[in-house]
């Protein structure tokens, strides 16, 4: 029977373990920690130092070409609460807190984007060596992962944005890395790290809504005593619950309405109108009295324009009905609370969240099949071929000249964001293949996962590896369901999924190829 310690090296081209492999097995047998795995192996040291060196060189060259950060509307929304000392925001407050904490050290926007980018690099290093530690893939897979993580121009561009995407991606990758270690080598202290990570990522973007739910399912199956499992699950919900209570309190102090996420309510109604815009032109069904006025304005809008924003159109971000002033949701807000010159007046915007949530939920429940046809199916197409959104827009290179731009200028000392048009076009040319690239990653991941399950390769690998594969497969299903049914699917929101799917697609095919190759007769 094969020594189980040699499993990590089952893909070696040689039938005999060389001296380096023998030393690695000895370290593994002594419960080796990751730091030893990296530093005591020459090849791993080269990968680590090479990643740091190349990241510094390449991002330095990138900043020579793009000396200013990029900003879009979301950027100004994150800056405003910091500039005005607010405790809550239309978006999760976590990235604003990050900016506030950074401002205690520096107001240099150049230092900020360097910090963001290197946080992502350091987390990717940890994820990279975690995969090498537990799977020991062939050399070509190691090099492919290295290129994906540390030579990827998409990460340069996203790191240069004043937006939550880089921080959210880094924290999400760190969370999935921690989850892998909890599956493979659970230790009681990890439950505290894990709960804290979930809190941090949840404060940065509400796309992490399903993280604690899925993590709880995984925790039920890890090798910990039952009371530690209960503690791990309870602690994560306790911390997140505390943040929800804090945010609800801050929303109440700003608007007079106790509510956790008005943005979520607006988003539910927005998603429903992508469906209802088609339905209301064909049907005249009555609605509950509390929705009568809003529904009347919605019907009038669609009966007048006879057009619904097309989710399959690559230039839309999927949030037209919550962000455009002409939309019936915004027009109802102005009718109910009046108009003013203030951007995102919380006293008028927050109370709409409750009504929008109830109205949108009512429409989805009433027309579920139509919602699948007009929102979920188009959103699934966006998931498969994701629009580049800000990466194809010119607006990130131009500083706003209104009050929002003035706040950003005052806080970071910015006078312009503009670079040469040839570099703006260079950005577009470099990043334009990514929607197709991401589509291929989705397909490769699904094919690899099906190969592992249906062809039963998962039974031919170590139980630890099998548990990690199943956990990642479950995560992918949750991520797919959440994004297709509720989220705005754009490229910058897919970075975390791209990293995880591409990494494990490579590992899946390496395992399948390696197992088949091992059956071939040797020369």
- Compute the distance between CA of residue 123 and CA of residue 150 in angstroms, rounded to an integer: 11
**Per-residue model confidence (pLDDT) at position 32:** 57
Which residues lie closer than 8 Å to 186 by C-beta, 6 or more apart? 222, 223, 224
**Per-residue model confidence (pLDDT) at position 442:** 97
**Per-residue model confidence (pLDDT) at position 26:** 41
**Per-residue model confidence (pLDDT) at position 1:** 36
**Per-residue model confidence (pLDDT) at position 138:** 94
Which residues lie closer than 8 Å to 490 by C-beta, 6 or more apart? 317, 318, 382, 386, 387, 388, 389, 390
- Over residues 183-203, the pLDDT tens digits come to 999 988 999 999 999 999 999
- Compute the distance between CA of residue 390 and CA of residue 342 in angstroms, rounded to an integer: 25
Report the chain's terminal Cα–Cα distance, integer Å: 23
Contact 164, 81 (CB under 8 A): no
Q: Per DSSP, what are the bridge partners of residue 70? A: 161
- Over residues 415-438, the pLDDT tens digits come to 999 999 999 999 999 999 999 999
Q: In 3D, which of 166, 168, 190 has the Cα closest to residue 179? A: 190
The two three-digit tokens of residue 206, written as one number: 């509400």
What is the value of pTM for the model shown? Answer: 0.90
**Per-residue model confidence (pLDDT) at position 10:** 35
**Per-residue model confidence (pLDDT) at position 227:** 93
**CA–CA distances in Å: residue 465 to residues 25, 85, 505, 517:** 16, 47, 14, 19
Q: Could you say which residues of the chain have pLDDT below 70?
A: 1-32, 340-344, 515-523
């Amino acid at each position: 029977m094969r020594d189980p310690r040699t499993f990590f090296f089952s893909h070696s081209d040689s039938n005999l373990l060389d001296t380096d492999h023998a030393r690695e097995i000895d370290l593994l047998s002594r419960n080796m920690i990751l730091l030893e795995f990296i530093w005591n192996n020459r090849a791993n040291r080269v990968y680590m130092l090479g990643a740091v060196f190349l990241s510094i060189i390449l991002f330095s060259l990138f900043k020579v070409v793009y000396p200013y950060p990029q900003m879009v509307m979301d950027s100004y929304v994150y800056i405003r609460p910091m500039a005005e000392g607010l405790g809550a925001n239309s978006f999760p407050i976590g990235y604003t807190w990050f900016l506030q904490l950074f401002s205690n050290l520096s107001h240099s926007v150049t230092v900020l984007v360097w910090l963001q980018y290197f946080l992502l690099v350091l987390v990717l290093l940890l994820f990279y060596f975690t995969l090498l530690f537990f799977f020991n893939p062939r050399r070509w897979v190691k090099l492919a992962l290295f290129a994906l993580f540390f030579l990827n121009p998409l990460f340069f561009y996203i790191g240069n944005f004043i937006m939550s995407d880089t921080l959210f991606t880094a924290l999400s990758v760190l969370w999935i890395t921690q989850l892998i270690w909890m599956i493979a080598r659970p230790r009681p202290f990890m439950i505290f790290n894990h709960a804290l990570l979930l809190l941090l990522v949840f404060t940065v973007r509400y796309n992490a809504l399903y993280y604690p739910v899925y993590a709880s399912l995984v925790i039920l199956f890890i090798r910990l005593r039952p009371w530690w499992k209960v503690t791990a699950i309870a602690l994560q919900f306790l911390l997140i619950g505390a943040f929800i209570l804090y945010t609800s309190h801050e929303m109440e102090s700003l608007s007079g309405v106790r509510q956790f996420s008005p943005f979520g309510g607006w988003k539910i109604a927005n998603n429903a109108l992508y469906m209802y815009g088609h339905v209301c032109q064909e049907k005249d069904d009555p609605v509950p009295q509390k929705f009568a006025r809003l529904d009347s304005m919605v019907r009038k809008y669609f009966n007048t324009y006879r057009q619904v924003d097309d989710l399959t159109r690559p230039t839309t971000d999927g949030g037209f009905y919550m962000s455009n002033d002409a939309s019936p949701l915004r027009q109802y807000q102005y009718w109910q609370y009046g108009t003013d010159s203030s951007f995102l007046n919380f006293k008028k915007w927050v109370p709409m969240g409750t009504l929008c949530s109830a109205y949108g939920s009512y429409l989805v429940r009433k027309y579920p099949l139509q919602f699948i046809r007009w929102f979920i199916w188009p959103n699934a197409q966006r998931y498969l071929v994701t629009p580049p959104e800000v990466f194809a827009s010119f607006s990130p290179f131009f500083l706003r000249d209104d009050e929002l731009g003035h706040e950003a200028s005052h806080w970071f000392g910015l006078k312009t964001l503009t670079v040469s048009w040839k570099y703006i076009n260079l950005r577009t040319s470099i990043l334009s293949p990514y929607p197709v690239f991401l589509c291929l990653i989705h397909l490769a991941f699904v094919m690899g996962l099906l190969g592992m399950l249906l062809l039963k390769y998962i039974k031919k690998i170590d139980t630890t590896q099998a548990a990690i594969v199943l956990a990642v497969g479950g995560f992918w299903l949750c991520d797919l369901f959440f994004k297709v049914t509720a989220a705005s699917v754009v490229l910058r929101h897919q970075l975390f999924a791209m990293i995880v799917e591409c990494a494990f697609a490579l590992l899946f095919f390496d395992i399948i190829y390696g197992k088949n190759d091992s059956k071939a007769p040797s020369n």
